[in-house]
Amino acid sequence: MAEAIAHELAKKQKEISVAEFFERNKHILGFGNPTRALVTSVKEGVDNSLDACEESGILPDIYVEIKNHEDGECKLIIEDNGPGIVKKQIPHIFGRLLYGSRFHAIRQSRGQQGIGISAVVLYGQLTTGKHAKVISKIQEDRPATVTELAIDTNKNRSEVINRDIMHWDKPSGTRLEVSIVADYKRGKRFVYDYLQSISIVNPHAQITFKEPDGTEHLFERTSDILPRTSVEIKPHPYGVELGTLIKMAKNTKSRKLSSFLKSEFTSMGDRTTKAVCEKAQLDKDLSPKDMSREQFLALHKAFKKIKIMAPSTDCLSPIGETLIKRSLKHETQEISPEFIVTTSRPASVYSGNPFQIEIGVVYGGSLPKDKTVKLMRFANRVPLLYQQGDCVSTSAISSIDWRRYGLEQSSGKGIPSGPAIFLTHMSSTLIPFTSESKEAIADIPEIENEIKLAFRECARKVQSHIHKKVRRVKTREKFELITKILPEIAKKSSNMLDKPVPSLDKVITKIMDVIWIEDLIEYEKISAKPVQSTLFDGSSEKREGGWITKSTVMVVNYKDKPQKFNLYAAIPEDAVVGTVTPKPTKITDNYIKWNLEGIPPADKRDIYFELAGLDKGDFDENDLYVEDINPSYVIGADKWEGD
Amino acid sequence: MAEAIAHELAKKQKEISVAEFFERNKHILGFGNPTRALVTSVKEGVDNSLDACEESGILPDIYVEIKNHEDGECKLIIEDNGPGIVKKQIPHIFGRLLYGSRFHAIRQSRGQQGIGISAVVLYGQLTTGKHAKVISKIQEDRPATVTELAIDTNKNRSEVINRDIMHWDKPSGTRLEVSIVADYKRGKRFVYDYLQSISIVNPHAQITFKEPDGTEHLFERTSDILPRTSVEIKPHPYGVELGTLIKMAKNTKSRKLSSFLKSEFTSMGDRTTKAVCEKAQLDKDLSPKDMSREQFLALHKAFKKIKIMAPSTDCLSPIGETLIKRSLKHETQEISPEFIVTTSRPASVYSGNPFQIEIGVVYGGSLPKDKTVKLMRFANRVPLLYQQGDCVSTSAISSIDWRRYGLEQSSGKGIPSGPAIFLTHMSSTLIPFTSESKEAIADIPEIENEIKLAFRECARKVQSHIHKKVRRVKTREKFELITKILPEIAKKSSNMLDKPVPSLDKVITKIMDVIWIEDLIEYEKISAKPVQSTLFDGSSEKREGGWITKSTVMVVNYKDKPQKFNLYAAIPEDAVVGTVTPKPTKITDNYIKWNLEGIPPADKRDIYFELAGLDKGDFDENDLYVEDINPSYVIGADKWEGD
């Protein structure tokens, strides 16, 4: 009897094709409802186009059109000026899930799964029964190929329905036309938001969006330079899984353990390799293929006991603090926030994958005080629109007690309420999305920790900002009281006694007993002829005109003895320093340092510097530090904590 | 140049095996960190065992053991008394992703993807490099097979490392032993919670859990009857995607449209089929294989214009209101909540898949008032532990304005705060999980709508409960005032006037001017000999002893005229009605009805009924309704709104 059951059950066992799986579970890919399906389709198409252009060193020029038909069906067109796709690959790329070029490469790219664009074709076919059309041109003097295709979901293979050639007026590029069931009315706003967000963090891309009624929106290119091309790297020994290590050793061409380690991992030089082998008590000449599980285990443990250099961040392409600030400014232009702070963490590693966290916090202005803080999330320069509740960035933010930073939060947990916007960007060679729809990042402890550290750092900046502001306001009140009332008293008393009005400088100085620092930032538009300026990724950029940021800092000694100390002005990494007076002691990527010698009591020093390569408003507040003086005597600068 | 790029890119294009995909994206399957990986592994194993037993009509007896080793690695053992697995299928089931028996069947089961259990094996191999071991026995008088296996992720195929046979002391069953990297210390609580929750909603299962230190926990079987076996059904025409319809027509063996519709869909009888064909203006003798896309489109549209019977709910196995109430009681035993209400929605359909929503709300008691409401989520009788923020149940709850029901909620959106627990259960032939880790349900509009309707219904019950209670308290105060003070006054006045104390009945009646209904529920333990009682799924159950619920309802006429009306007492569907006095007019599955004839002023009627088949406390509050009387005269019952 029991046997009969087991045999009966065995008959039903069957393989499931991955296309069939996703056909039944389309919501996993982000096609759960017609609104979201529209946004996901646009997103997958645009991400793919951006990746293709960037990989080929082409400035992306992307065209998105939605043609509205009746009955909730529309035609989506996504066209780029990328390198095009060779004829033979078109059916695979657009008609087969889990097929792509970026899965096996360890470098930052938007696509990483080989699912996205074929999922759009699959969804279109499932909901409309229509075929997709791909036009592609790979060389200027040759015609474009036109491929009409469907997906055989039982086999996860493409069926080419028709092939043709045509003349196409562009040097190279790809155009996808796909009919999908979509809710344009509801989805429109999300599509617009997505395209706007992606254009902010991808200033080198030009995106045109044509609505069904013919309205065209142009998201203009604001930088002519491509982001630094992310370099492909090898896995890093930290966090590589034991099973992966064994698999790599089985497949390696290296005959010796030492050469295996050096050639298949990043950050493994001669010295580190030797140290690892010694720690693991393994002969460096062992054949990797002959090693036992115990030997691999020893090797795996040794990795974690030896200090191995962090992976090169060449494989990452972070957004950069200035661009984050700019994008937050853009987002908040009508709000006039009190201030914006940003933080970039150093690169870190999870499961062998390098990653980097950047965050930004906008505070104050006319942001609503009784609503929860707005969260903006990005991964590899792609905005994440859905599944906020399940994202590691949300849980990291929720675990911080924000009440001490002036935000409301019931019982010190959860997303705080208050006038703020929090932006998180993760760049990585492998973003651990919680699902194939790529909308939320999984709760990997290493990532959560980095996000927490970044937000704590920002929160401290916020706190110091508030603190500095409060102290300055208080001192200013005192200052105004003294400088207005004392002279009045002196004048009146002198008149009464018929004596000359005494100089009050020393008295004021004695009462104030501080170094007072004030600053002013102005911008000057420079001529319309092209100028070189430095971009967020460190590369330089040629732009039609630009802005010079001019910062003036006034230091007044209201103490009764001459003062001597060092002053530091923090500057954005991507700014180019112009005129500086007086002569600074040091200029680095991050600061300018002056050695201020003996300022006599009641005397002042004027300090001036110019920054190029920034937009108007990118640098809108001086960040000043002092050294070799008790910082509690200084109003307007903090203690210098070192580089 | 451009051509060179396209060809260069083409070289990198490669197929990705699904095993390789999940190896790199293990977080998608719920293995993102060592704590969660432990819970997911236990869950996948237990779910699989429960499905196997139920499919074969075996009462599940499941053994879970975690053996702790050092270095964060542990061995997980999951053993069941199911039908076992034939030798040939073992490598496929445990060593190949997207392989299973439940994917193509439209019926409710826990597993539906063919991923879960092989994902555990994959994760174990990835993190520990060790092989998994499967022991299986399919017939009493034969030995068990022992299979040691690994997964070749490049091919998504199993590698059998070793095969053996052994004697095993059980008639049939399967035992999986797998080593995994896991955080037992942190994960322990979640494993325990998961096993407890699953045993509550699966009272027919016995689960033993052995901890690394040898401690054993037994989650006892509380019902000897298997839940109703869910029947496999065909897709329903509502919500079937156009693409799926075309695919079905291509693969059908039917030669005519009418027979295709009748044989491949559920709810399509002769009359409906004819109506659909006429609406679509299609000849019912058309060959499905020869139909054009336009014809399919017409057919697809016609489906939605014709009223088609809801799918049979045979394929679903809901938990049932009584069991939900019982599980909530269990969850809140130390809280003594004010009341618990439950709602079962009728079955509905999304994308051709039948589903049913059941919910429960616990209110009051010592539940914390300043914390957000606790959410409990279940899908096909499996508790969902993670990704709450991204679940459709959460968004449905968040979109309701709970402030009018006495819960706090900033700006009328979001999870409310207050002394309540909300439970949601979805049963379906296909739960649309947001990812393969099966932790959250996607935001499908049809599902969100049903959950909202269910919660609104429950909220109304809560409101009516509060309303009834407030009215009763007020009237009782008045009543007590009158029945205590009036007689005192009467007595004193009579004494003073030296006259006999008058009868106050009529006066009291005049002041009260209501029908007062009070009730009392008691339980009586019945003898230890086995009794038949009815279970949540409508089947009957043999139990050692049980409880009789005894309900007494007292109706007093405090109005000045005789009253005549109908009284309804709602009863749980799964209760068996025993003695009822006076003789009722009608008894259905859902209520008992009495016709109360002319109750004179100041007179009362005693009503009594007994219910069997319930546990002590399952029925702990009478739900009474009145008809043919102005309900505002009645305290303790609501207006009868019909069946």
Residue B49 Cα to chain centre, angstroms: 19
Per DSSP, the three-state class of A455 is helix
Concatenate the DSSP letters of all residues of A385-402 into one string.
-S-GGG-HHHHHHHTS--
Q: What's residue B537's pLDDT?
A: 45
CA distance A543 to A212: 34
Spell out which residues of chain A touch residue B9, defining contact as CB-CB under 8 Å.
52, 55-56, 83, 85, 101
What pLDDT digit, counting tens, does each position of A164-222 carry? 999 999 999 999 999 999 999 999 999 998 998 888 788 889 999 999 999 999 988 87
Question: Is A8 part of a structural domain of the chain?
Answer: no
Given CB atoms, is B140 within the 8 Å cutoff of chain A? yes
- Cross-chain Cβ contact A241/B100 below 8 Å: no
Burial of A385 (0-12, 13-18, 19+ CB in 10 A): middle
- Residues of A329-367 as b/e, b for ≥16 C-beta within 10 angstroms? bebbeebebbbbbbbbbebbbbbbbbbbbbbbbbbbbeb
Question: Is B352 part of a structural domain of the chain?
Answer: no
Final residue of a structural domain among A463, A494, A523: A463
Q: What's residue A529's pLDDT?
A: 54
Residues of A numbered 223-252 whose beta carbons fall under 8 angstroms of chain B's beta carbons: which are they? 241-247
Which tokens go with A342? 């940003």
Sorted by sequence, the CB contacts under 8 Å of residue B53 that are 6+ apart come out as: B59, B60, B80, B81, B82, B83, B205
Residues of B numbered 417-446 whose beta carbons fall under 8 angstroms of chain A's beta carbons: which are they? 417, 430, 432-437, 440, 442-445
Same domain, A407 and A542: no
Q: B39: left (phi > 0), else alpha (psi -120 to 50), else beta?
A: alpha
Low-confidence ranges of chain B (pLDDT < 50): 1, 531-539, 541
**Mean pLDDT, all residues of chain A:** 85
Q: Which long-range contacts (CB under 8 A, 24 or more apart) does A186-191 make?
A: A186/A34, A186/A35, A187/A34, A187/A35, A187/A36, A187/A37, A187/A38, A187/A39, A190/A35, A190/A36, A190/A38, A190/A39, A190/A385, A191/A38, A191/A39, A191/A42, A191/A64, A191/A66
Same domain, A55 and A197: yes
Same domain, B109 and B206: yes
CA distances for A386 relative to A43, A377, B406, B432, B629, angstroms: 12, 10, 30, 16, 52
Final residue of a structural domain among B405, B431, B463: B463
CATH number for the domain harbouring residue A601: 2.60.40.1170
Question: Is A359 part of a structural domain of the chain?
Answer: no
Closest C-alpha among A331, A393, A329 to residue A357: A393
Spell out which residues of chain B touch residue A9, defining contact as CB-CB under 8 Å.
52, 55-56, 83, 85, 101
Neighbours of A530 (CB within 10 A): 13
In the 8-state DSSP scheme, what is residue A143?
Answer: P
Annotate B152-187 with three-state secondary structure.
Answer: ECCCCEEEEEEEEEECCCCCCEEEEEEEEECCHHHH
Same domain, A248 and A379: no
- Cross-chain Cβ contact B247/A9 below 8 Å: no
Low-confidence ranges of chain A (pLDDT < 70): 1-4, 69, 101-107, 111-113, 527-545, 643
- Kind plus residue range of the DSSP H or E element containing B484: helix B445-497
Sorted by sequence, the CB contacts under 8 Å of residue B440 that are 6+ apart come out as: A390, B384, B386, B387, B388, B390, B391, B392, B433, B434
CA distance A182 to A127: 9
- Chain A closest-CA separation from residue B19 CA (Å): 11
**Mean pLDDT, all residues of chain B:** 85
CA distance A628 to B396: 59
Residues of A numbered 395-414 whose beta carbons fall under 8 angstroms of chain B's beta carbons: which are they? 410-411, 414
Same domain, B264 and B387: no
CA distance B504 to B551: 30
Spell out which residues of chain A touch residue B7, defining contact as CB-CB under 8 Å.
86, 138
Given CB atoms, is B16 within the 8 Å cutoff of chain A? yes
Residues of A numbered 500-529 whose beta carbons fall under 8 angstroms of chain B's beta carbons: which are they? none
Q: What's residue B621's pLDDT?
A: 82
- Cross-chain Cβ contact A394/B389 below 8 Å: yes
- Chain B closest-CA separation from residue A203 CA (Å): 23
Same domain, A391 and A284: no
In this structure, are residues B398 and B448 in contact, taking their beta carbons and an 8 Å threshold?
A: no
Beta strands in B38-186 (DSSP E): 61-68, 73-80, 99-100, 132-137, 144-152, 157-166, 173-181
CA distance A89 to A92: 5
- Cross-chain Cβ contact A432/B32 below 8 Å: yes
Question: Is A236 part of a structural domain of the chain?
Answer: no
CATH number for the domain harbouring residue A292: 1.10.8.50
Beta strands in B381-448 (DSSP E): 382-384, 420-428
Which tokens go with A444? 């990997």
Q: Is the peptide bond before A582 cis (omega within 30 degrees of 0)?
A: yes
What pLDDT digit, counting tens, does each position of A33-46 carry? 899 999 999 999 99
Q: Is the peptide bond before B582 cis (omega within 30 degrees of 0)?
A: yes
Same domain, B161 and B22: yes
- Locate the chain A residue with the closest alpha carbon to B411: A371
Pick from B16, B390, B411: which is nearest to A371 by CB? B411
In this structure, are residues B347 and B310 in contact, taking their beta carbons and an 8 Å threshold?
A: yes
In this structure, are residues A421 and A377 in contact, taking their beta carbons and an 8 Å threshold?
A: no
Same domain, B90 and B140: yes
- Cross-chain Cβ contact B101/A172 below 8 Å: no
Number of domains in chain A: 4
Sorted by sequence, the CB contacts under 8 Å of residue A499 that are 6+ apart come out as: none
CA distance A363 to A462: 8
Pick from B2, B172, B432: which is nearest to A139 by CB? B2
- Cross-chain Cβ contact B28/A435 below 8 Å: yes
Same domain, A57 and A165: yes
Sorted by sequence, the CB contacts under 8 Å of residue A288 that are 6+ apart come out as: A249, A250, A252, A254, A255, A256, A257, A260
Same domain, B176 and B293: no
- Cross-chain Cβ contact B93/A13 below 8 Å: yes
- Chain A closest-CA separation from residue B98 CA (Å): 5
Residues of A numbered 454-483 whose beta carbons fall under 8 angstroms of chain B's beta carbons: which are they? none
Per DSSP, the three-state class of A229 is coil
Given CB atoms, is B208 within the 8 Å cutoff of chain A? no
Closest C-alpha among A481, A499, A477 to residue A490: A499
Given CB atoms, is B448 within the 8 Å cutoff of chain A? no
- Cross-chain Cβ contact B56/A5 below 8 Å: yes
- Locate the chain B residue with the closest alpha carbon to A58: B2
Spell out which residues of chain A touch residue B28, defining contact as CB-CB under 8 Å.
433-436, 442
Pick from B9, B52, B242: which is nearest to A129 by CB? B242
Residue type, B614: L
Spell out which residues of chain B touch residue A417, defining contact as CB-CB under 8 Å.
410
pTM for this model (two decimals)? 0.77
Question: Is B345 part of a structural domain of the chain?
Answer: no
Given CB atoms, is A394 within the 8 Å cutoff of chain B? yes
CATH number for the domain harbouring residue A406: 3.30.230.10
Given CB atoms, is A148 within the 8 Å cutoff of chain B? no
CATH number for the domain harbouring residue B67: 3.30.565.10
- Cross-chain Cβ contact B89/A10 below 8 Å: yes
Q: What's residue B220's pLDDT?
A: 86
Q: How many residue pairs bridge chain A and chain B with CB atoms within 8 Å of each other?
A: 262
- Cross-chain Cβ contact A13/B99 below 8 Å: yes
Residues of B numbered 252-311 whose beta carbons fall under 8 angstroms of chain A's beta carbons: which are they? 293, 296-297, 301
In this structure, are residues B138 and B172 in contact, taking their beta carbons and an 8 Å threshold?
A: yes
Per DSSP, the three-state class of A502 is coil
Spell out which residues of chain B touch residue A411, defining contact as CB-CB under 8 Å.
370-371
Same domain, A275 and A212: no
Burial of A499 (0-12, 13-18, 19+ CB in 10 A): exposed
Question: Is B336 part of a structural domain of the chain?
Answer: no
Beta strands in B253-347 (DSSP E): 339-344
Which tokens go with A308? 């191995």
Which tokens go with A29? 């890919």
CA distance A638 to A567: 10
Question: Angle at which helices B505-512 and B445-497 pack, to 10 degrees?
Answer: 150
Where in the sequence is the domain holding B436, given as residue range(s)? 358-463
Q: What's residue A216's pLDDT?
A: 94
Concatenate the DSSP letters of all residues of A235-268 into one string.
PPSTT--HHHHHHHHHH---SSHHHHHHHHSTT-
Closest C-alpha among B116, B118, B113 to residue B94: B118
What is the sign of the dihedral through the CA atoms of B51, B57, B61 and B67?
negative
Q: What's residue A534's pLDDT?
A: 45
Given CB atoms, is A643 within the 8 Å cutoff of chain B? no
- Kind plus residue range of the DSSP H or E element containing A362: strand A353-363
Question: Is B495 part of a structural domain of the chain?
Answer: no
Q: What's residue A135's pLDDT?
A: 96
Same domain, A88 and A167: yes
Question: Is A355 part of a structural domain of the chain?
Answer: no
- Residues of B197-220 as b/e, b for ≥16 C-beta within 10 angstroms? bbbbbbbbbbbbbbbeeeeeeebe
Spell out which residues of chain B touch residue A293, defining contact as CB-CB under 8 Å.
129-130
Q: What's residue B538's pLDDT?
A: 44
Spell out which residues of chain A touch residue B56, defining contact as CB-CB under 8 Å.
2, 5, 9
